[in-house]
Amino acid sequence: MATVEELQTRVKQLEAELERERARNRTGPDGGGGRKKIDKMSSEVVDSNPYSRLMALKRMGIVDNYERIRDFTVAVVGVGGVGSVTAEMLTRCGIGKLLLFDYDKVELANMNRLFFQPHQAGLSKVQAAEITLRDINPDVEFETHNYNITTVDNFQHFMDRISHGHLRGDRPVDLVLSCVDNFEARMAINTACNELGQVWIESGVSENAVSGHIQVIKPGETACFACAPPLVVASGIDEKTLKREGVCAASLPTTMGIVAGFLVQNTLKYLLEFGSVTYYLGYNAMQDFFPSMAMKPNPNCDESYCRKLQTEYQEKLAAQPKEEVKEKEPEEVVHDVNDWGIELVAETTDEEFKAASHGHVPELVEGVHVAYVRPMTQEDDEGAAGLTVDDQESLEDLMAKMKSI
């Protein structure tokens, strides 16, 4: 049996060892085996230049000014199957700064996806990601936040970092990328970005792992995430044959990698201004079907900031010369044939559709539908036990009453 002193010595040894290992992770062996920081991107084609193939984009005339990538700051919210790969791609591209948000830890159950490694199990995802990414490219600046953005306290901090977290001083980040896996977090990002007028791109992979999407949201200009119920890319699978026994969600590294690829490709096109930015791109893995479209905002959106920005955007449009506006009109996508026999099925009864059809129904491309419809007229609450009434009891009284039942 070891004495306390012996154990204390051992702990000290291990701490020193851990510190050496950490230092090695930060700078590489001998302080430079990853590599040293590079002040200026060079387009010189030599084996030792990590940016030569990226700068070749400039020489080939694809991107006007690739070096600008170092001036951009991107926030990645959710560092899981999609977010970690997204962050790695941006790191390898030489992005200026990344803000990473996630409250989760790395688990062995994540190993069917890319990026994280078994020895990182137990570390927070943001911390593990930062260590790996710094090693890949020490030129990138990182800021990590290990918390859940949907709670009241964290949400305010999240908004603050989005609006002040830029690499080049006290201003908003250039783009927010949503790589979260749940509706609540998406709605929280949507609320924050509407309030801040922040452009963001939403991404997602379905729980059956065989479809995904990305969607660019420019508050006021395109549909926000609350403008319509969640969109679903038809998977071509009869929902009734989908077995959900004993499982919550499936995932594939392929689908997640593809969606991360779409997301970062669109991000690069948006930031570096090349090609055309796709507003909505869906991916159906079963039939290799990729619907794309642009979605107008809902004038009756639940989010007041979305409605406010819509008005502002319309005023801005009206003030612009007409031709320019025409150019900006997103292309209409028309599908003549429906090879996959995709139709709208589900959860919604005829009456509900009827009720909803009084209000805003988004124009969607074939192969994409809303997960459900919301009634515009209040549903008849047949037999429901009436609305709660505001009697004289205070909140404290009610809390006490609940406790004493």
Whether the CB-CB separation of 155 and 193 falls below 8 Å is answered with no
State which of residues 164, 333, 372, 377 lies at the interface with other proteins (CB under 8 A).
372
E-strand spans in 95-229? 97-101, 141-145, 175-178, 200-205, 211-217
Nearer residue to other proteins within complex by CB, 102 or 139: 102
Q: Is 371 in the site for other proteins (CB under 8 A)?
A: yes
Output b/e per residue, 32-70; b: 16+ Cβ within 10 A.
Answer: eebeeeeeebebeeeeeebbbebbebbeeeebeebbebb
- Please report which helix (H) or strand (E) contains residue 231, including its range: strand 231-233
State which of residues 99, 167, 188, 365 lies at the interface with other proteins (CB under 8 A).
188
Whether the CB-CB separation of 25 and 134 falls below 8 Å is answered with yes
State which of residues 39, 288, 329, 381 lies at the interface with other proteins (CB under 8 A).
381
Q: How far is CA 377 from CA 231, 246, 298, 387, in A?
A: 21, 37, 16, 17
Give me the phi and psi of 254, to 5 degrees please. Answer: -65, -55
Give me the phi and psi of 246, to 5 degrees please. Answer: 70, 15
Q: Which stretch binds other proteins (CB under 8 A): 59-67, 91-99, 323-331, 365-373?
A: 365-373
* ∠ CA 184-186-192, rounded to 5°: 105
- 227 flagged as catalytic: no
Q: Is 393 in the site for other proteins (CB under 8 A)?
A: yes
State which of residues 1, 46, 152, 319 lies at the interface with other proteins (CB under 8 A).
152
Q: Is 184 in the site for other proteins (CB under 8 A)?
A: yes
Q: Is 387 in the site for other proteins (CB under 8 A)?
A: yes
Binding footprint of other proteins, residue count (CB under 8 A): 49
Scan residues 84-143 and list those touching other proteins (CB under 8 A).
Answer: 104, 107
DSSP 149: T
Residues belonging to the chain: 405
Scan residues 263-302 and list those touching other proteins (CB under 8 A).
Answer: 302
Q: Is 390 in the site for other proteins (CB under 8 A)?
A: yes
| Closest of 348, 225, 347 to residue 280, by C-alpha | 225
Q: Which stretch binds other proteins (CB under 8 A): 44-52, 213-221, 309-317, 395-403?
A: 395-403
Q: Is 341 in the site for other proteins (CB under 8 A)?
A: no
Shortest Å, Cβ 365 to other proteins: 22
Whether the CB-CB separation of 294 and 215 falls below 8 Å is answered with no
Q: Is 238 in the site for other proteins (CB under 8 A)?
A: no
Cα(271)–Cα(55) distance, integer angstroms = 15
Shortest Å, Cβ 185 to other proteins: 8
**What single letter denotes the amino acid at residue 221?**
E
Shortest Å, Cβ 296 to other proteins: 21
Shortest Å, Cβ 238 to other proteins: 14
Q: Is 62 in the site for other proteins (CB under 8 A)?
A: no
The active-site residue, picked from 179, 227, 248, 306, is 248
Binding site for other proteins (CB under 8 A): 104, 107, 148, 150-152, 155, 182-184, 187-188, 191, 226, 229, 244, 246-249, 302, 347-348, 352, 371-375, 379, 381-390, 393-395, 398-399, 401-403, 405
Please give the positions annotated as active site. Answer: 248
